[in-house]
């Protein structure tokens, strides 16, 4: 292969020591999409199988060039195995490249999505084979909030572990990345056929972070379907925390109020090791109220909590109607036996971009109710219309109860 002059994208990242701006990254990835579309459209399609930042060079003329075809293969849909050397690059190779199926054009699409993930976050995604055994893929915007919601949506689909759940072609991936304007309907999540009327989707409107780093999401004024009976209710605009309150945020509250007791499960006033971004638990109703008074916010009403979770169409779960054990949220079916980080389930976000509203931990509301279920409860309880009343004295310091403020 001819020598290509220029700087590869891995070298560029190492030199800059920070993520690339989104427009720049999309420009380079868009050019590589065009090259791959050409390779994949040949009468004998060529699958690169080693796309990563180090194998994309930017020439002095400003063109992105894909290099190193050392483990490329010729794709034959009639063969269970195909010609070419087998190899993997941790973080970039899809599951099927580990021997879990036949590689095809969607394999290159995964690696390209993993490359874009690295360019935009300055962090490699976990190995695909580790993800199927429980290692979480952090949502891109949880690492770099400057990433646009539409780019994050395309990235998460492109990084699905199963090939059938990704974009069917690299060209479709490029279209999703470079499309302009907010979508008016939401594509069906992986494995779910679209049906019925289009479901409105609201691009998350994030405000400035609060005094303890709370990210607020705007829930617009208007009507929605509330409760199991789907009663039409109208609410004014309000803000809700994007994530359940975390241990690291609650620790700031305790530091400012040293006379208050820590949550159960902590060792003294220390957060359990490695659980800074886990939801705080072991806090009772009065604890949640005390935090809200200190932080200048409040607990949501049942109606406010539920609208943020289900949007306006009466869906049973934040992501829609489909259920797959362990894919969208942390309930008893996931068999994890404990809480998970608040960014663990990017496919489980609500129509407004609010995370972790089904499963993981129960959340207090104003009326001393608990909403959302937890890792100890099943899918029936995780339905966002379900409500559980518990006297505050009996719920104090339970390991699956937390809260999420509004303002």
pTM over 0.75: no
**Average pLDDT estimate for 64-83:** 53
Q: What is the C-alpha separation between 301 and 280, in angstroms, rounded?
A: 20
The pLDDT of residue 199 is: 38
Q: Which of 26-30, 71-75, 221-225, 393-397 has the lowest mean pLDDT?
A: 71-75
Q: What are 293's two structure tokens?
A: 């008074």
The tens digit of pLDDT for each residue in 285-343 reads 999 999 999 999 999 999 999 999 999 999 999 999 999 999 999 999 999 999 999 98
The tens digit of pLDDT for each residue in 149-178 reads 889 989 999 999 988 889 888 988 998 887
- pLDDT above 80: residue 194: no
Average pLDDT, the chain: 84
Domains 7-178 and 216-403 share a fold: no
Single out the residue of 296, 289, 303, 270 nearest to residue 371, CA to CA.
Answer: 303
First to last CA, the chain: 60
Q: What is the CA radius of gyration of the chain?
A: 23
Domain boundaries, given as residue ranges, for the chain: 7-178, 216-403
The pLDDT of residue 330 is: 96
Mapping DSSP onto H, E and C, the string for 228-279 reads CCCEEEEECCEEEECCCCEHHHHHHHHHHCCCCCCCCCCECCECCCCCCCCE
CATH fold group of domain 216-403 = 3.90.1580
CATH 3.40.50.2300 holds for 7-178 = no
């Amino acid at each position: 292969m001819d020598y290509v002059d220029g700087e590869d994208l891995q070298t560029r990242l190492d030199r800059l020591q920070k993520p690339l701006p989104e427009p720049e990254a999309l420009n380079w990835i868009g050019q590589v999409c065009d090259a791959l579309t050409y390779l994949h459209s040949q009468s004998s399609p060529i699958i690169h199988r080693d796309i990563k930042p180090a194998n994309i060079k930017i020439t002095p003329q400003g063109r992105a060039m894909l290099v190193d075809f050392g483990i490329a293969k010729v794709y034959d849909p009639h063969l269970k195995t195909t010609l070419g050397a087998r190899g993997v690059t941790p973080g970039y190779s899809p599951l099927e490249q580990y021997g879990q199926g036949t590689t095809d054009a969607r394999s290159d699409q995964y690696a390209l999505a993993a490359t874009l993930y690295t360019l935009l976050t300055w962090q490699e995604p976990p190995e695909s084979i580790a993800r199927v055994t429980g290692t979480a893929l952090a949502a891109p915007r949880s690492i770099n909030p400057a990433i646009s919601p539409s780019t994050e949506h395309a990235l998460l689909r492109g990084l699905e572990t199963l090939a059938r759940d990704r974009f069917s072609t690299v060209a479709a991936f490029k279209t999703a990345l470079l499309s302009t304007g907010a979508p008016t309907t939401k594509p069906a999540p992986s494995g779910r056929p679209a049906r019925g009327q289009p479901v409105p989707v609201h691009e998350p409107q994030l405000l400035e972070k609060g005094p303890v780093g709370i990210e607020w999401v705007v829930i617009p004024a208007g009507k929605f379907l509330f409760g199991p009976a789907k009663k039409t209710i109208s609410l004014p605009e309000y803000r809700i925390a994007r994530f359940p309150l975390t241990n690291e945020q609650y620790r700031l509250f305790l530091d400012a109020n040293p006379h208050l007791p820590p949550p159960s499960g902590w060792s003294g006033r220390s957060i359990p090791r490695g659980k800074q971004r886990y939801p705080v638990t072991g806090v009772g109703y009065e604890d949640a109220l005390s935090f809200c008074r200190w932080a200048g916010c409040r607990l949501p009403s049942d109606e406010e909590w539920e609208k943020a979770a289900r949007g306006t169409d009466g869906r049973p779960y934040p992501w829609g109607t489909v259920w797959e054990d362990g894919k969208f949220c942390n309930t008893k079916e996931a068999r994890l036996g404990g809480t998970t980080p608040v960014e663990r389930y990017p496919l489980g976000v609500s129509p407004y971009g609010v995370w972790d509203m089904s499963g993981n931990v129960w959340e207090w509301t104003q009326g001393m109710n608990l909403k959302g279920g937890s890792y100890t409860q099943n899918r029936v309880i995780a339905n966002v219309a379900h409500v559980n009343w518990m006297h505050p004295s009996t719920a104090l310091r339970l390991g699956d109860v937390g809260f999420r403020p509004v303002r």
